[in-house]
Each structure stands twice: as C-alpha cells, then as structure tokens.
Amino acid sequence: MLIRLGYDIELQLSQAMTVVAVLNVHPSRVADLREPDEIQISPEVERQQYLDSFGNICTRIIAPAGPLHLWNSTLIEDSGEPEGAGWEAIQAPVAQLPPETLQFLLASRYCEVDRLSETAWQLFGNIAPGWPRAQAILDWVHDYVTFGYHFARPTKTALDVYSERQGVCRDFQHLAIALTRAMHIPARYATGYLGDIGVPYGGPMDFSAWYEVYLGGKWWSLDARNQKPRIGRVLMATGRDAADVAITTSFGVSWLNKFSVVTEEVVQSESPMKTMTAAGMAPASYQS
C-alpha cells in the first residue's frame, strides 16, 4: 500500500526568531519512503536538521518577522495490514528493562505518575501483568473518557483528564500513559499520521496522537482514543508526553494562520488528497 502524506502550515511571527519544527517521518520509517521527505520553507531561511534526545528528526529554522510557510508532500509504503497486538508479550521486571526505557516509567509534564499510582493499582492491580494489563488500561480510558474538541486546553494533564473524564486525543493518551507507567510498564507518547484507511471517514483532523508500550522486548502502538488496531499509522516522533513532540516550537510570539494535513491511500493513480484541518491535538505548536 502507498500512502500520500503532507501538510501545509503557516505561522505569523511577531519578530525575527528561531522556530523548531518536528515534521519529518520518524527515522524508523525512512526506509519506507518512496519520495523525499523534505520540509519546504518560504521565505528562504537558514535551517539546520538534527536528532533530538529521543531520536526524532528536528529542524531549527532562523526566520524573519512575518509569515513563515512550511509545507511538504511525500509518499510512503505501508504493509496495509492492521497493527498487531502482543497478547503473549511479557512484562519485564524493572531491574531487567533496557536502561533507555526507564525514563518512560517516570512522571513528566503532562503525566503525573506519582499522583495516579494509587488509583492505577486499585483499578488494575488484580489484572495479569503484561499485555492483559496494558490492554485493560487502554480499554478503561477509552470507555470512561468522553471525546470532544471543545474539551481541549493546553494545560490539561493526565490527572485533570481522570478527574474531568473529558478530552481530545492527546488527553486520552496522557491518561493511559500515566496509568501504564504506574503499573511499571514503560510508555511513551507518539505523534504522526493516521488517516481513515479501513474505517469510515471520521471528519477533519490533524496529526494524530497515540502511545507506545514496551512489552516483550519491543515497542507496541496503542491508541486509547480509537481503541482498535488501525491501518497506515505513520510515526513522526516519540517523547515523554506532548511537550516533547510539538509540531512547531516558536521562541517568541507567533500565531497560526493556516494548518492542514493530508494522509490518504494511493490507489493506482493518485486520487484527490483529503485535507484535514487542525483540531484534535491542540495545541499543534508551543511558544516559549
């Protein structure tokens, strides 16, 4: 299966500033690309590409005041198969986990593991460790949290989601991550493309959020918002929570003028692309 990926973003910068963009396909999927994955930038500016501490591809942009236009279109090959489940995946004791996974057991900006630990053990302590426990957490969050774009706010944390039982896709993932970490299963936030391949068209959306758990010696994709395995999920970045994988970070005051995303299966000749406007992962950018 071939999937057309792309985005069209315009920021309005109040002054000359640095902007860091996390817009490339993750290095783990680069071998699947069938066209170049290069950020197009207008106006012509100085840029530098680098890997951050989580292994994500980032681009530092030195931009003048005014509009900053970022866009791209690329093609990726995918198996076309629904993502797998690891029902036999074993949960390793913390003492045996790879050192690089240990940071994904700790509390982070949006995932208060310490404050949700007692709740997690009350809810899931009697469930078999490993995949059954991870699946139970996913199912609980999916069933007990109500989705709605009007529930979004940039300061909402996992504890807020647990208390309010409302949120957008990133909020579902933050709560699931915090509860999973509390049960000593490494869990990390993930962002990327997820179109409506194999499911009914779900309406406008932006880059999607999900999370990954480390079981049986590998990372598995889970999605507390959508719950069911999906086709054509394309990873862009992973981190401790949404703060680590912001699509753009502006080091100064900026505004979002335009934002759309494309992710659509290509059948024979390319069909018209489906444009998706920003919504479910607000905010798509951070300022500092």
Taking only the tens place, the pLDDT of each residue in 29-74 is 999 999 999 999 999 999 999 999 999 999 999 999 999 999 999 9
pLDDT above 70 (res 279):
no
How large is the average pLDDT for residues 185-192?
A: 98
Neighbouring residues of 99: CB distance < 8 A, sequence distance ≥ 6: none
Q: Is the pLDDT of residue 103 over 90?
A: yes
Topology (CATH level 3) of domain 94-244 = C8orf32 fold (3.10.620)
Please, what's the b/e burial string for 21-60 (b: 16 or more CB within 10 A of its CB; e: otherwise)?
Answer: bbbbbbeebeeebeeebebebeeeeeeeeeeeebebbbbe
Instruction: Tell me which residue of 65, 162, 153 sits closest to 116, measured CA to CA.
Output: 162
The whole-number pLDDT of residue 207 equals 92
Span 2-80+246-287: which CATH code? 2.60.40.2250
pLDDT above 70 (res 280): no
- What was the pLDDT predicted at 202? 73
Going by C-beta distance under 8 Å and a sequence separation of 6 or more, which residues neighbour residue 122? none
DSSP bridge partners of 58: 50
pTM of the predicted structure, to 2 decimals = 0.90
Cα dihedral 248→251→256→259 (10° resolution) = -10
Given a cut of 60, is residue 275 above it in pLDDT? no
Please, are residues 250 and 11 in contact by the beta-carbon 8 Å criterion? Answer: yes
Domain locations in the chain as residue ranges: 2-80+246-287, 94-244
- pLDDT category, 204, cuts 50, 70, 90? low
Q: Would you state the pLDDT for residue 288?
A: 36
Per-residue model confidence (pLDDT) at position 267: 84
Spatial contact of 104 and 150, defined as CB atoms under 8 Å apart: no
Q: What value does the mean pLDDT of the chain take? A: 92
pLDDT at residue 233 is higher than 70: yes
Confidence tier at 205 by pLDDT (50, 70, 90): low
What was the pLDDT predicted at 268?
A: 64
Instruction: Indicate if the pLDDT at residue 82 is higher than 80.
Output: yes
